[in-house]
């Protein structure tokens, strides 16, 4: 019987099967940020277990509230910073070098095909774009990962999401994943890894694949995953060029993680990309999705472009294409947060930051801040935000606020119109 | 092992997410105890008032996909520091469910028609659940109404509850 991608990765990393249906796997990387890690650190210290399994496999960043907004967030940063120093964790990204974890860590080359990764953050599923198994976990799993380099999972099942057809102009990975979540529901992939396959996925850039995998958890998925191919190798080449004699050799090696032709899937979902149009959420759940064309005219107060879903260079380019030479509507305010310093620098070099500023956007440093209503763009009660982020839960960007999740192009078009609008 | 018996809070909705269980604005706290006043603060449901309805409860009965959204273990902690150590529902988000058992707490799954029956018979009444961990039985009672139910518990989940959580278990074994 053939194996899916995640089954191959688990087989290669298996440490123990303590009980039927439970697999303990070895971890290649443990990612940490300042919201969920400090309590794990304090817990380990209190238990007399203040150790790390391998400082080179632990990567840490301050990203959720940065620079700190108050004493409490400053303390969270300090606990993480002191711990990273104490354990000689070299890949620690402090203020000035920090970015949104799921944008920063991939661009540093920390994720490779076949890797197993955990982080105390539900959007860790993003890294499956590299053909890796990457899962969000709680603080206790994180603490054990830090201490022992292992994590326990139920034996994974795979849902195949096969995407064929052709994406129309002005339709993006965000529209695609919102459509998929709408189709299967917020509980549709619970306990399963979502393996994205098909011509459309093969043509997507790494950035677009990350957008897709990022929102797997919004359908309940453990991880989104894309088979490694030449696009993956090209992206990683600067980091792996000393390990392989050629890109072709790297591809051959990584291809061992591709699913077998006779792999068994718990479920298969077929998506025709040709039918998909720009989408927006309308309620408080990520599966409440409608074509933007049906929601045109919805009043808004703020536009936000950024986050681990859509704060990468390709996203900023798509928004800037719409904004170029135009101004945002008088009645709203707009914020853009490039997701990492490298993205920020690239956007400066390409003149994208100038386009945003000329249009009337506030440009902030890289941070998660507004996405979860912590800083840099929190909504007031009753306000509405068109946002490129990943969750429209009630109160997510501020108590009493409403969030409409859209692509960067739709966000930019809405900023110009002062109401929900498409770029098409 | 923790206490899994006591008064029941009924939350009649699917997909109650972790932002509703404990909003992100409280994630800057560095102790579990500090979360105590904020449990379910953003859950807006007709007839539910977190300040009145949580006090004295030891268990939650709810619908499907409870705990979806963020990975924050603050959600189980906020329950735990309010002495709620067991949530009973049709299903749970993966991370939330694992976080519960990792803390030595329980997330018990029952078939949707069984949960439906519990809501029909007990919601709105002063209901108590008594949990027999060894026999895997739950006894619901309110006045002269009594219902006894069996539940399933995986080997790993049982081991974590008995060990008081995953850190102790893993430190000994790996």
> Tens of pLDDT along B83-141?
999 999 999 999 999 999 999 999 999 999 999 999 999 999 999 999 999 999 999 99
Q: Alpha carbon of A71 to those of A58, A75, A159, A217, B65: distances in Å? A: 26, 6, 44, 31, 35
Neighbouring CB atoms inside 10 A of A46's CB total 9
Q: Which numeric CATH code is attached to A1-276?
A: 3.30.499.10
- Say if A329 is an interface residue toward chain B (CB within 8 Å): no
- Closest residue in A to B155 (Cα–Cα): A19
Contacts of B76 in chain A (CB under 8 A): 138
Reported confidence tier of residue B30, pLDDT bands at 50, 70, 90? confident
Looking at the DSSP bridge assignments, the partners of residue A226 are: A196
| pLDDT tens-digit map of A184-206 | 999 999 999 999 999 999 999 99
Residue B171 has pLDDT above 90, yes or no: no
Contact B19 A152 (CB under 8 A): no
CA distance B99 to chain A (A): 6
| pLDDT tens-digit map of A64-114 | 999 999 999 999 999 999 999 999 999 999 999 999 999 999 999 999 999
Which CATH number fits the domain that encloses residue B23? 3.20.19.10
State the burial class of residue B120 (Cβ atoms within 10 Å of its Cβ: 0-12, 13-18, 19+). exposed
Contact B91 A39 (CB under 8 A): no
Q: Is residue B85 part of a domain?
A: yes
C-alpha closest to that of A95 among A33, A30, A31: A33
Task: State which residues form the domain around B42.
Answer: 6-173
Helical residues (DSSP H) of chain B, grouped into ranges: 18-21, 50-53, 74-80, 94-102, 112-122, 155-163, 166-173
- Whole-angstrom distance, CA of residue A192 vs CA of residue A157: 5
- Say if B95 is an interface residue toward chain A (CB within 8 Å): yes
Q: Which two tokens stand for residue B71?
A: 């990975």
Q: Is residue B1 part of a domain?
A: no
| pLDDT tens-digit map of A266-307 | 999 999 999 999 999 999 999 999 999 999 999 999 999 999
Please state which CATH class domain A281-417 belongs to.
alpha beta
What's the number of domains chain B is made of?
Answer: 1
Domain-wise residue ranges, chain A: 1-276, 281-417
**Rg for chain A (alpha carbons), in Å?**
21
ipTM of predicted assembly, 2 dp: 0.95
- Say if A18 is an interface residue toward chain B (CB within 8 Å): yes
Looking at the DSSP bridge assignments, the partners of residue B62 are: B11
Residue A1 has pLDDT above 90, yes or no: no
Angle between helix A71-86 and helix A37-46 axes, rounded to 10 deg: 60
- Whole-angstrom distance, CA of residue A123 vs CA of residue A134: 9
Contacts of A39 in chain B (CB under 8 A): 30-32, 73
C-alpha closest to that of B63 among A186, A365, A169, A12: A186
- Say if B162 is an interface residue toward chain A (CB within 8 Å): no
Contact A138 B167 (CB under 8 A): no
* DSSP state, residue A128: G
Q: What's residue A44's pLDDT?
A: 95
Residue A411 has pLDDT above 90, yes or no: yes
Q: What's residue B172's pLDDT?
A: 84
Residue A424 has pLDDT above 80, yes or no: no
Q: What's residue A95's pLDDT?
A: 96
- Say if A138 is an interface residue toward chain B (CB within 8 Å): yes
Coil, strand or helix at A178 = helix
- Whole-angstrom distance, CA of residue A414 vs CA of residue A102: 26
Window A:204-243, CB contacts with B under 8 Å: 220, 222
Q: Across residues A113-122, what is the average pLDDT? A: 98
Reported confidence tier of residue B168, pLDDT bands at 50, 70, 90? confident
Contact B42 A399 (CB under 8 A): yes
State the burial class of residue B56 (Cβ atoms within 10 Å of its Cβ: 0-12, 13-18, 19+). exposed
Angle between helix A313-323 and helix A352-359 axes, rounded to 10 deg: 50
- Whole-angstrom distance, CA of residue A368 vs CA of residue A238: 27
- Closest residue in B to A48 (Cα–Cα): B171
Reported confidence tier of residue B21, pLDDT bands at 50, 70, 90? very high
- Whole-angstrom distance, CA of residue A193 vs CA of residue A222: 5
Contacts of B65 in chain A (CB under 8 A): 186-187, 190, 220
Q: Across residues B43-64, what is the average pLDDT? A: 96
- With helix as H, strand as E and coil as C, how does A2-69 read? ECCHHHHHHHHHEEEEEECCEEEEECCEEEEECCCHHHHHHHHHHCCCCCCCCHHHEEEECCCCCCCC
Q: What percent of chain B has pLDDT over 90?
A: 91
- Say if A3 is an interface residue toward chain B (CB within 8 Å): no
Q: Is residue B124 part of a domain?
A: yes
Contact partners, residue A154, CB within 8 Å, separation at least 6: A21, A22, A23, A191, B94
* DSSP state, residue B17: B
CA distance B35 to chain A (A): 13
Identify whether the C-beta of residue A311 lies closer than 8 Å to the C-beta of residue A366: yes
Q: What's residue B5's pLDDT?
A: 98
Q: Across residues A337-362, what is the average pLDDT? A: 98
Residue A351 has pLDDT above 80, yes or no: yes
CA distance A111 to chain B (A): 20
Contact A140 B73 (CB under 8 A): yes
State the burial class of residue A362 (Cβ atoms within 10 Å of its Cβ: 0-12, 13-18, 19+). middle
| pLDDT tens-digit map of A53-64 | 999 999 999 999
Contacts of B34 in chain A (CB under 8 A): none
As a whole number, the mean pLDDT across chain A is 97
Q: Is residue B103 part of a domain?
A: yes
Tell me the backbone φ, ψ of residue B151, rounded to 5 degrees: -130, 160
Identify whether the C-beta of residue A31 lies closer than 8 Å to the C-beta of residue A60: yes
Identify whether the C-beta of residue A417 lies closer than 8 Å to the C-beta of residue A295: no
- Say if A21 is an interface residue toward chain B (CB within 8 Å): yes
């Amino acid at each position: 019987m053939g194996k899916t991608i995640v089954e191959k990765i688990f087989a290669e990393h298996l440490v123990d099967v303590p009980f039927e249906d439970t697999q303990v796997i070895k971890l290649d990387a443990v990612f940490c940020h300042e919201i969920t890690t400090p309590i794990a650190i304090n817990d380990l210290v209190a238990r007399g277990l203040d150790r790390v399994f391998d400082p080179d496999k632990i990567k840490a960043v301050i990203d959720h509230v940065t620079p700190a907004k108050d004493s409490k967030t400053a303390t969270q940063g300090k606990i993480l910073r002191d711990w990273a120093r104490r354990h000689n964790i070299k890949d620690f990204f402090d203020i000035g070098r920090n970015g949104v974890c799921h944008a920063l860590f991939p661009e540093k080359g920390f994720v490779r095909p076949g890797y197993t990764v955990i982080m105390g953050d539900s959007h860790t599923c993003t890294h499956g774009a590299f053909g890796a198994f990457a899962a969000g976990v709680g603080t206790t799993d994180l603490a054990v990962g830090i201490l022992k380099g292992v994590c326990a999972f139920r034996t994974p099942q795979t849902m195949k999401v096969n995407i064929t057809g052709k994406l129309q102009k002005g339709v993006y990975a965000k529209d695609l994943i919102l459509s998929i979540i709408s189709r299967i529901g917020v509980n549709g992939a619970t306990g399963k890894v979502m393996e994205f396959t098909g011509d459309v996925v093969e043509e997507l850039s790494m950035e677009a694949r990350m957008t897709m995998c990022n929102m797997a958890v919004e359908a309940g998925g453990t991880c989104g995953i894309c088979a490694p191919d030449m696009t993956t190798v090209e992206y990683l080449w600067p980091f792996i060029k000393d390990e392989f004699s050629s890109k072709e050799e790297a591809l051959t090696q990584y291809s061992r993680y591709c699913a077998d032709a006779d792999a068994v899937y718990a479920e298969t979902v077929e998506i025709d990309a040709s039918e998909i149009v720009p989408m927006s959420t309308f309620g408080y759940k990520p599966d409440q999705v409608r074509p933007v064309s049906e929601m045109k005219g919805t009043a808004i107060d703020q536009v936000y472009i950024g986050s681990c879903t859509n704060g990468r260079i390709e996203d900023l380019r798509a928004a800037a294409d719409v904004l170029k030479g135009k101004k945002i509507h008088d009645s709203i305010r707009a914020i853009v947060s490039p997701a990492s310093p490298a993205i920020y620098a690239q956007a400066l070099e390409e003149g994208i930051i100038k386009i945003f500023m000329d249009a009337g956007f506030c440009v902030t440093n890289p941070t998660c801040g507004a996405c979860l209503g912590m800083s840099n763009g929190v909504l007031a009660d009753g306000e509405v935000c068109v946002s490129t982020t990943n969750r429209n839960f009630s109160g997510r960007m501020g108590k009493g606020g409403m969030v409409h999740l859209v692509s960067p192009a739709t966000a930019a078009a809405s900023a110009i119109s002062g109401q929900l609008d498409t770029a098409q | 092992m923790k206490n899994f018996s006591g008064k029941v809070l009924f939350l009649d909705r699917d997909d109650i997410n972790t932002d509703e269980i404990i909003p992100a604005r409280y994630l800057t706290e560095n102790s579990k105890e500090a979360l105590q006043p904020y449990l379910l603060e953003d859950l807006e449901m007709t007839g539910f008032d977190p300040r009145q309805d949580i006090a004295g409860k030891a268990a939650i009965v709810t619908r499907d996909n409870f705990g979806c959204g963020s990975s924050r273990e603050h959600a189980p902690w906020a329950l735990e520091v309010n002495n709620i150590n067991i949530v009973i529902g049709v299903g749970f988000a993966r991370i939330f469910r694992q976080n519960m058992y990792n803390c030595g707490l329980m997330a018990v799954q029952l078939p949707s028609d069984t949960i439906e029956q519990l809501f029909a018979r007990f919601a709105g009444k002063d209901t108590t659940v008594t949990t027999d961990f060894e026999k895997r039985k739950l006894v619901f009672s309110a006045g002269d109404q009594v219902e006894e139910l069996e539940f399933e518990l995986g080997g790993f989940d049982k081991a974590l509850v008995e060990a008081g959580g995953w850190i102790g278990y893993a430190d000994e074994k790996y």
